[in-house]
Structure 1
Amino acid sequence: MSTFVAAVALLDLEQLGGTEHLTRAPVDLPELTASAVNPHRTAAARDHRTITVDTAPATVDVDASWIRPAIGNLVDNALRHGHGDIHHGGRPRREPAPDRHR
C-alpha cells in the first residue's frame, strides 16, 4: 500500500508541473527519514535484511507530505531490486534558494 501511495504522490507532483502548491515547513530530518523508512523494516526483516539510517541532525524546510513518500519509494525499490542490507544516510547541503523572479 505504501508503494502505491508513493507512486501516486510522485505522479501527482509530476502532473502538477510546478512547486507553487507545496507547503514548506521546518521538519526534523532524522524524524522525517525515520517515518519514511520504519514502515519498510518488517519487509526487510522477512528477507533477513536490515535497514540502517544515518541522518545528520538538521531541520530542513520541505513539504514532508511529498518528501516522505519519495524516501519510502527509494527504500521500497532497494528492497525489491537490490540485495543485502540497506543503508540510508543523509547530510543536507545548504544551497541558495532559487530566484523566484525568473
Structure 2
Amino acid sequence: MTDTHITTDELVIIEAYFHHDTPISHIAKRIGRARQTVHNVIAYLRDGHTALDYYQRHQENKKRCGRKRMVLPTDNHIRCPTLSRILFNMLMLVRRQNNLL
C-alpha cells in the first residue's frame, strides 16, 4: 500500500466541512481518507489554525524526513575501508602470481 500525502484540496475541503460542523466520519467517507487522518486535521483546526498553517507545518516536517545529505571528504586520498580491502587483495594476488612464475 502506498503512502499518499494529504493534498491542499483535501485540506480545504476538510476545513469547509469543519466550519459546517460535519462529523469526522462523514468527511472521511466523502474524501476517501481514514478517520484518523481527518481527525488529525480537525484537531489542528480546533486549535485556531487554518488549512494553510497545517500544510506549511507538513512541508516543514517533510524536510526532516528521508536520507540526510552526505558530505564527501575534500582530501586527495580516498578513505574507504572497502576500497582499501579490494586494493590489498589485488596486491596480494599480484604478489602470489609473481612468486609462482
State whether TM-score is above 0.5: no
Decide which structure has greater helix share.
2
The alignment's TM-score, normalised by the length of structure 1, stands at: 0.33
Q: Which of these two proteins has the greater Rg computed from alpha carbons?
A: 2
- Give the number of the structure with larger relative contact order, counting CA–CA contacts within 8 Å between residues 6 or more apart: 1
